Amino acid sequence: MRLSNGEVLLAWPLASHIITAGWTYNDGGAHNAIDLRAALKTPVYAAEDGTVTQTQLWDGVTKTGMQSYGVMCRVKHADYKGGELCTRYAHLTELCVRRGETVREGQLIGYSGATGDCYGAHLHFEVIYRGVRCNPLNWLDSDFTVKDAATGTHLGRYTSVERPRPAAQLQKLSIGPVSGGDARAICQLADRLGLVDAGLVQTEPVAG
């Protein structure tokens, strides 16, 4: 989603947010993505509205080049500060979308798997901005855990996006009928609370 300040808050592509590999692998090697724990055929969802610009099916053998991603799709989102923003979902076992299809945030796009160059079912998730892979944790909120302490030291530099607080739920409260003195006291209290200026106080005269 796009926040009121123009920043981007991507939705987590899985219902569960357990990171098993960070921006770098535990051996220090470049990963340029995050891996999320996912059993085989766990639903995978679009991180934001967009258009599917690339899909790939794995040939079942090759583990190099683009085939290292296995079954994969890439979604292009609305530009961010004039630059192209995309997300990639890899090692899937099945795709539910086609190239050129418009998707909504939270829409099912596939199921996790262990295709391509990997050693067990999980979701490989990338954020690509202006053609360069960026740490996805800079585009997500802080609602995640890591599988172990070692993984936590390899998350890379990031600043989580703060999720907007939900609007306060207002309740209608009716008071009265009351005496003139009590009415004035109630109105004075409402004024101190800012309810009068907000147009949230209504009074009605009582006949007789």
Delimit the domains of the chain by residue range. 18-152, 173-208
Tokens describing residue 36 = 């999320």
Element of type H or E holding 181: helix 180-192
- Unique residue bearing structure tokens 């999720």: 163
Cis check: omega of the bond before 177, within 30 degrees of 0: yes
Mean confidence (pLDDT) of the chain: 91
Q: What CATH class is the domain 18-152?
A: mainly beta
Q: What is the pLDDT of residues 32-54, one digit of tens each?
A: 999 999 999 999 999 999 999 99
pLDDT confidence of residue 69: 98
Q: Specify the pTM.
A: 0.80
User: Which secondary-structure segment (H or E) carries 125?
Assistant: strand 122-129
If residue 192 lies in a helix (H) or strand (E), which one and from where to where?
helix 180-192
Task: Specify whether the CB–CB gap between 126 and 87 falls below 8 A.
Answer: yes
One-letter-per-residue 3-state SS of 32-61: CCEEEECCCCCEEECCCCEEEEEEECCCCC
Residues (pLDDT < 70) of the chain are 167-173, 176, 194-208
